[in-house]
């Protein structure tokens, strides 16, 4: 289930949403203003944001604008919650990058259905992406991004990183990596793996989280 960030200054709305979302199995984070909401969006890595339009200090529409302009969270799904029922307001929200728009008072059943739809849409579009911490690896484009910035990897480095992410937490032996990345017909030494891992660590820096298991191989924490 998803981790959902709810940003709304009405306590009864927060309680209502928190209860129903948790009953549905979601993890819920709540806050009552835009400033804290942006901080949590960056730190908590939620799967979706429920964002009220009318917030103190920073309006919801301005929070949405900041989200869409921030490379770290620009692809975060956002559903706007609002008492505004004007067509122009909805168009503005969608133009600013809202994924959906629901007017208060709303049906919990309808909101849950919309959340499910938006999450499914993002999951489907992101099926070819593997993520680990600040690393995003896109299988279809053969691209890797570190904290939002593209980094250049060789084909072998890319394949090594892909295997490590797909098997995160598992120890992969040098022989296994050699076979999977270089192929069974490759007769080189396992030292080849060590060299490429060293290059990979250098490019990823402190975000690599690749641990050496002495005498065995490597794992991604």
Residue-wise pLDDT tens digits, 34-77: 999 999 999 998 999 999 988 988 999 999 999 988 888 888 99
Question: Residue 124 pLDDT > 80, yes or no?
Answer: no
162: tokens are: 């892909």
- Residue 162 CB coordination number (10 Å): 18
Mean of pLDDT over the chain: 86
Q: What local confidence, expressed as pLDDT, does residue 83 receive?
A: 78
pTM of the model: 0.57
Q: What local confidence, expressed as pLDDT, does residue 87 receive?
A: 64
The distance from CA 51 to its chain's CA centroid, rounded to whole angstroms, is 17
| Residue whose entry in the numeric block shows the structure tokens 């004007």 | 86
Q: What local confidence, expressed as pLDDT, does residue 62 receive?
A: 93
48's CB contacts (< 8 A; 6+ apart) are: 2, 3, 4, 5, 76, 77, 78, 79, 115, 118, 119, 122
The distance from CA 129 to its chain's CA centroid, rounded to whole angstroms, is 10
pLDDT interval class at 85 (50, 70, 90): low
Question: Residue 214 pLDDT > 80, yes or no?
Answer: yes
50: tokens are: 């429920």
Check if the beta carbon of residue 74 is closer than 8 Å to that of residue 67. Answer: yes
Check if the beta carbon of residue 143 is closer than 8 Å to that of residue 196. Answer: no
Q: What is the pLDDT of residues 169-183, one digit of tens each?
A: 899 999 889 888 877
């Amino acid at each position: 289930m998803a981790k959902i960030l709810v940003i709304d200054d009405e306590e009864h709305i927060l309680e209502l949403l928190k209860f129903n979302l948790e009953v549905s199995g979601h993890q819920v984070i709540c806050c009552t203003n835009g400033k804290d909401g942006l901080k949590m969006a960056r730190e908590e890595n939620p799967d979706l944001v429920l964002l009220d339009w009318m917030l103190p200090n920073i309006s919801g529409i301005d929070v949405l604008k900041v989200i869409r302009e921030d490379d770290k969270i620009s692809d975060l799904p956002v559903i706007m919650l609002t008492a505004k029922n004007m067509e122009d307001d909805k168009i503005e929200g969608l133009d600013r990058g809202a994924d959906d728009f629901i007017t208060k008072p709303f049906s919990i059943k309808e909101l849950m259905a919309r959340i499910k739809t938006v999450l499914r849409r993002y999951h489907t579009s992101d099926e070819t992406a593997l993520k680990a911490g600040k690393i995003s690896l896109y299988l279809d484009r053969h691209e890797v991004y570190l904290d939002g910035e593209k980094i250049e990897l060789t084909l072998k480095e890319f394949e090594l990183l892909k295997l490590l992410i797909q098997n995160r937490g598992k120890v992969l032996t040098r022989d296994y990596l050699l076979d999977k990345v270089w192929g069974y017909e490759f007769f080189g030494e396992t030292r080849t793996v060590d060299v490429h891992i060293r290059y990979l660590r250098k490019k990823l820096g402190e975000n690599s989280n690749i641990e050496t298991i002495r005498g065995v191989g490597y794992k991604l924490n």
